[in-house]
Structure 1
């Protein structure tokens, strides 16, 4: 579960958004209030806020977002429990508060509004409230056995490692299986092996590298493996003699149906590989030495 929080001054406007019936909002938590609409609740907030006219941002606005899977199983009782535990964890005590749940998206989330001014006229300390909200939501999730941010991050990192490995494996398979002679051949080969290769072309119509789309992930070549940057892929392709000749004789390439120019960095990387290949061949045959 993720928690976000901040102090605001536009109480009624923000509550009106949270209570918007078009978003299928439902009140799931209320404390020390009798109002039945945003205007009435905001008026109750203001009565208490008049006890402290020095505080301008006198309402606390929080968003509590369980994971999508957790949210599917949370009804009003459980959502109310989340708000109650969060209020306790944030040490908000006996303040006016109201919360709505939004189901307008697959990701169910709670909007919680709390009066920053208590019944004694004291303003709640909002220092580092964003970070404190995150920590409080994490503790509430642990207490209620919901998925925590740390668990989500671990799962994401774990899945990402597996995705990177699989894209790299399919890259190696493409190189061995199809022995592509051009970037276009490489793109088609990767597509055959289930990976969509998206050329990164800048405003100057120069090819800078590639992104790889696989199983809902979209990663830069350098994020997958250092050998999969545009320059390094080009160097591998340039190991083929016909590819080397092609690069020496042409300044433009056709990639994914578009004629583009290689970026300076890619051109240099490939040129070095071509020169290295020529020198190596010369040394092997004894030509020029």
Structure 2
């Protein structure tokens, strides 16, 4: 699970964005606290009424996104999403603050948007030091408590997968010794690797490529299109020295 958070000045436009779910129209309001309004303008006024008690705090609103892993998030009920929201707010000391949270489901990954008032009714501003780091640490804590993969777990799995792909590409190049970019792609395809060629929208020339969903440069710096096109022989000699994800 991933979570990002930052402090902002807040605006009605930002609230309207949270309240809208692109193709799906109005976003589902998951939960709120101390909020009555239903439009960005009305909600902002409610935030500002409390924020008047502390005019020294400029970035007086916290904007946060909570994204459960795609394979898990798609099946989560609103009740389960609400539990995640409450745990996140509790961990960050924000549960008793004024906030509104919505669910966006029009992208591949269902996620929660939250806007929280940094200022409480006593005019106190909660610290935003290392806010994004704390939000991610909290998200990982919640994921572990539920037996889910954390962002670090997924990142490590991706590194291992990329390393396996790099080794397969290396072995394929050594075996087939392609002499141009066309034969290079053909060799990778024959080895069972899925290749997605990216073409320029201007002149339809090849501008890059992906291997099994990975950008070539994320697998190895020596697999960028420019380096492959420059010299296949250089790639053959240098791939064995490239540490890439094996570090």
Could you state the TM-score of these two structures normalised by the residue count of structure 1?
0.67
Residue 62 of structure 2 aligns with which residue? 60
Contact 1:64–1:109 (CA<8 Å) still a contact in 2? yes
Shift, 1:73, TM fit:
1.2
Residue 18 of structure 1 aligns with which residue? 18
In the TM superposition, 1:59-208 aligns within 5 A as 59-175=61-177, 182-183=179-180, 186-187=183-184, 189-190=186-187, 193=190, 194=192
Cα pair distance change 1:35/1:62, threshold 3 Å: same
Contact 1:51–1:121 (CA<8 Å) still a contact in 2? yes
Shift, 1:234, TM fit:
2.4
Contact 2:3–2:65 (CA<8 Å) still a contact in 1? yes
Give the RMSD, CA atoms, in angstroms. 3.1
SS in 2 for 1:47: helix
Greater shift, 141-150 or 92-101, is seen at 141-150
In structure 1, C-alpha distance between the alignment counterparts of 2:218 and 2:131, rounded to whole Å:
38
Contact 2:66–2:112 (CA<8 Å) still a contact in 1? yes
Cα pair distance change 1:62/1:184, threshold 3 Å: closer
Unaligned runs of 5+ in 1: 199-209, 238-289
Could you state the TM-score of these two structures normalised by the residue count of structure 2?
0.77
In structure 1, C-alpha distance between the alignment counterparts of 2:93 and 2:189, rounded to whole Å:
57
Shift, 1:37, TM fit:
2.8
1:215 correspondence with 2:209 = no
Shift, 1:211, TM fit:
6.8
In structure 1, C-alpha distance between the alignment counterparts of 2:82 and 2:157, rounded to whole Å:
27
Shift, 1:5, TM fit:
0.7
In structure 1, C-alpha distance between the alignment counterparts of 2:84 and 2:55, rounded to whole Å:
31
Cα pair distance change 1:221/1:23, threshold 3 Å: closer
Cα pair distance change 1:235/1:16, threshold 3 Å: closer
In structure 2, C-alpha distance between the alignment counterparts of 1:197 and 1:54, rounded to whole Å:
52
SS in 1 for 2:127: coil
Pick the structure with greater CA Rg.
1
| Number of equivalenced pairs | 221
In structure 2, C-alpha distance between the alignment counterparts of 1:220 and 1:74, rounded to whole Å:
34
Contact 1:212–1:219 (CA<8 Å) still a contact in 2? yes
In structure 1, C-alpha distance between the alignment counterparts of 2:115 and 2:196, rounded to whole Å:
46
In structure 2, C-alpha distance between the alignment counterparts of 1:48 and 1:171, rounded to whole Å:
64
Shift, 1:185, TM fit:
7.1
Contact 1:211–1:220 (CA<8 Å) still a contact in 2? no
Shift, 1:46, TM fit:
1.2
Residue 246 of structure 1 aligns with which residue? none
Shift, 1:95, TM fit:
0.8
Map Cα deviations across residues 20-39 of structure 1 (whole Å, 9 max, x no partner). 15443111121222223322
1:38 correspondence with 2:40 = yes
SS in 2 for 1:100: strand
Residue 8 of structure 1 aligns with which residue? 8
